[in-house]
Amino acid sequence: MDSVSTRMTRQRQVILEELCRVKTHPTADDLFMMVRRRIPNISLGTIYRNLEKLVFMQEVRRLVSAGGQMRFDGNTQPHYHIRCVKCGRVDDVVLDYDSAVDKVLANRSGYDVIEHSLEFSGVCPACRVGRESEVSH
């Protein structure tokens, strides 16, 4: 990509601002609804294209999970996530990133390990409350 295609356009800036404003790890569709409040004529395709460029620019992280929707994170520092198996919600995990894991794996595999990602699975508080009320009926 050339420098023109990776510059911070107004659309990219608004997408990044909206993404960093929330901690919900939104999907592209979620971001589309959020950004439309500020840029009413923006298209979903523009959201997708700019998210890809923001990922390329390392301003945004793409979170991909088997069977789950792709989500985006404005926090580019290495950290862990937990995903609800009921509703798909993704939250940050309050647990220090362990770079020692990278070193151990590098020593054992011969790879130059840059970082690792770890995602926990569980049932979020909202779904747990919903499930508990279903059981009590």
pLDDT of residue 65: 76
Q: How far apart are CA 134 and CA 113, in angstroms?
A: 45
pLDDT of residue 6: 72
Cβ contacts of residue 18 below 8 Å, gap of 6+?
31, 34, 35, 38
Q: Does domain 77-137 have CATH number 3.30.1490.190?
A: yes
pLDDT of residue 64: 86
Name the residue ranges covered by the structural domains of the chain. Answer: 1-74, 77-137
**Does pLDDT of 127 surpass 70?**
yes
Looking at every residue in the chain, the average pLDDT score rounds to 90
pLDDT of residue 135: 47
pLDDT tens-place string over residues 59-69? 999 998 766 78
Instruction: Specify the DSSP element, H or E, that contains 109.
Output: helix 99-109
With H, G, I as helix, E, B as strand and everything else as coil, classify residue 62. Answer: strand
End-to-end, the C-alpha distance of the chain in Å comes to 57
Instruction: Supply the CATH classification number for the domain 1-74.
Output: 1.10.10.10
pLDDT tens-place string over residues 48-104? 999 999 999 999 999 987 667 899 999 999 999 999 999 888 999 999 999 999 999
**Does pLDDT of 42 surpass 70?**
yes
